[in-house]
Amino acid sequence: MDLTTFWFILITVLWIGYLVLEGFDFGVGMLMAVLAHDDRERRVLLNTIGPVWDANEVWLLVAGGATFAAFPEWYATLFSGFYLPLLLILVALIVRIIGIEFRSKRPDAAWRRRCDVAIVVGSVVPALLWGVALANIVRGVPIDADGEYVGGLLDLLNPYGLLGGLVTLSIFLVHGAFFVGLKTEGPIRERAISLGLRAGLVAGALLTVFVLWTAGRDDSATVWILGALVVGAFALGLLNALAQRDGWAFAGTAVAIGLLVVTLFAALFPDVMVSSLDPAWSLTTTNASSTDYTLRIMSWVAVAFTPIVLLYQGWSYWVFRRRIGVHHIPG
């Protein structure tokens, strides 16, 4: 395996880590609007992600940094062409952080309601726009012979891209509901599983259409097989939720999200951004990469430090593995 392929795979893994882990963060944030009945239940929801949400966001920083270092042409075209959606995602993430960090600073009910709105909006916007962005990268966008994006915002708001956004939005909602079911006890857990099952029917339908559309566009056996595994994993997650197996239900949606990322990147490879104007103008792992020397140094750093990061984050999840309920929240 050459180094460009290795780094394409590693960036895929980083996006899997980000969307699987941050996905349930977004889901929990969206559930603040519909699942919790009072302030103590909203605090329970926030406490389920409190020890881990900021570490989950680090995966995005590492994915962006790895793209910049390994494939600078990809990074430049992506961030210039998708400037407005990425800016909206960044603003939404900042708004969500403000809501989470400052919600408890004042006991005023109106203040907490405004923070709750910030958390919900800051979760909905990225959950939607990440799907739109990833779908458009696979579908293809107007890129000229110089590797420059020459389209506008409306080019990104196509049916396939919008469907991708609805898929990530709905799947993250279900993923978050099953995470709440895994991490809580009592009535809030029961409501979370029930809501996740109802939303899962819609999410499953959207996911199936999106996977079929993606596989039909690419028309390769690999993408067809991966797409079938995505839908199968999501269905197993729903079945396990129905059987009250909370851990397996959450694992099912996590695997489905991870396999969906693999499916999209498999449909993209060996391109990293597809030109809808001329396939010859597409950016590939070869023409968008850094020098071989740069990739070699990065590879040694990744091999040395990635296991340490994974062990530390796994340990943090183990420490905060216990279920919580409203009786753990002081009045």
Using one digit for the tens of pLDDT, what is the confidence trace for 298-321? 999 888 888 888 898 889 889 888
pTM above 0.85, yes or no: yes
Print the domain residue range for 202. 3-328
The answer to whether 215 and 224 are in contact (CB under 8 A) is yes
Whole-number Å distance between alpha carbons of 147 and 136: 16
The predicted pLDDT at position 305 comes to 86
Residue 326 binned pLDDT confidence (cut-offs 50, 70, 90): confident
Query: What is the total count of domains within the chain?
Result: 1
pLDDT over threshold 80, residue 213: yes
Task: Evaluate whether 26 touches 123 at the Cβ level (below 8 Å).
Answer: yes
Q: Are strands 283-284 and 271-273 parallel, antiparallel or unpaired?
A: antiparallel
> Based on the number of CB atoms within 10 Å of its own CB, is 296 exposed (0-12), middle (13-18) or buried (19 or more)?
exposed
Q: What are the phi and psi torsion angles at 141 (to 5°)?
A: -135, 160
Phi/psi at 101 (5° precision): -75, -35
Residue 154: what pLDDT? Answer: 82
DSSP 190-214: HHHHHHHHHHHHHHHHHHHHHHHHH
The least confident of 25-34, 74-83, 123-132, 148-157 is: 148-157
**pLDDT at 7 (0 to 100):** 94
Neighbours of 292 (CB within 10 A): 11
Q: What 3-state DSSP class applies to 186?
A: coil
Q: What is the mean pLDDT of residues 30-36?
A: 90
Q: Over the stretch 153-201, which tens digit does the pLDDT of each residue have?
A: 888 889 999 999 999 999 999 999 999 999 999 899 999 999 999 999 9
